[in-house]
Amino acid sequence: MSADATTLDPPLHTTTGPPSVDLVALFRDSGIGDVLAELDHDLVGLVPVKTRIREIAAHLLVERARETLGIASGAPTLHMCFSGNPGTGKTTVALRMAEVLHRLGYIRRNHLVSVTRDDLVGQYIGHTAPKTRDVLKRAMGGVLFIDEAYYLYRPENERDYGQEAIEILLQTMENQRDDLVVILAGYESRMETFFRSNPGFRSRIAHHITFPDYDEAELLLIAQRMLDTMQYRLDAASRGAFEDYLAHRIRQPNFANARSVRNALDRARLRQANRLFADALAGGKAADGAALTLIAAEDIRASRVFSGASDAPPPDPIR
């Protein structure tokens, strides 16, 4: 832990027997219960992920208590890997993880810097090292989240500069692990290939968390939450249409879970607006609040998904 990191003072009990720590009070005083509750509220499903985050939080809390009693086993390794398909909440969980680490005093700042290969790797000799070090400087004291981390390694291109960024990252992860937590993220199969090619990363990663895809019921709930936030709604017919949409869409290539749901709703909102405007031009009645908030079944069934066509060009469909 960095010297100027926030620390907790666990309540000690010494009246009878050896000194002890009140873990419940430590948990309450740290405020991590609030963070875990927010995670439950913000993300639908993901029970295995939420369970692992709670386990990690409990472990770190106990390490704090052990440290207080002089029986700590040394600074824990905190670097992580989040594996899963797009749109499964990896970035959101990383943000909550940063907050947990900060509240327990393992990082100085409740701060997350999210980057990809383009932020780390240069295009010519001498460009990569300063780019990578600048990112590390911005992330120091907090969490560095590297999305699609496997793109750092491109063995098919002998003139690629990703290896230089990897070497700097590995050195920093080892030498400054008390002041920086690195979270690597990406597709599960590609991350496994990346670790086989770069064993230095695997040896420095303490926690591997796999993010499952959402099922249809969870995706429908996610859609409902998104619509509520935007003050739109579905009626019985449009809800059924969206259930049919999901049944088709999840079987198509490039499906991105919650991200694809958001994109589908954005397209449905565009169709709704076009429909309402066309009705107005045709001399229809003025649009009231009910009309302006309703996504109708026809707005959803107009998607190309129902004709068997791909929802949109790869890599991130929007229709």
Structural domains in the chain, CATH included, are 12-211 (3.40.50.300), 216-307 (1.10.8.60)
Q: Is 278 exposed, middle or buried (0-12, 13-18, 19+ CB in 10 A)?
A: exposed
Predicted pLDDT of residue 76? 85
Give DSSP secondary structure letters for 60-79. Answer: HHHHHHHHHTT---SPPP--
> How wide is the angle at C-alpha 19 spanned by C-alphas 15 and 21, nearest 5°?
105
Contact 259, 317 (CB under 8 A): no
List, for the chain, all residue ranges whose pLDDT scores fall below the cut of 50. 1-5, 313-319
Predicted pLDDT of residue 61? 92
What is the rounded distance in angstroms from the CA atom of residue 255 to the CA atom of residue 204? Answer: 31
Residue 315: asked if its preceding bond is cis (omega within 30°), the reply is yes
Predicted pLDDT of residue 319? 25
Residues pairing with 294 in the sheet: 233
Quick one: CA torsion of 185, 186, 192, 195, rounded to 10 degrees? -40
Distances (CA, A) of 191 to 51, 150, 151, 201, 287: 22, 6, 10, 11, 50
List the alpha helices (DSSP H) in the chain: 23-30, 32-42, 47-68, 90-103, 117-120, 128-139, 162-175, 188-197, 199-204, 216-230, 236-249, 257-281, 289-293, 297-301
| DSSP summary character for residue 207 | E
Predicted pLDDT of residue 246? 97
Predicted pLDDT of residue 75? 77
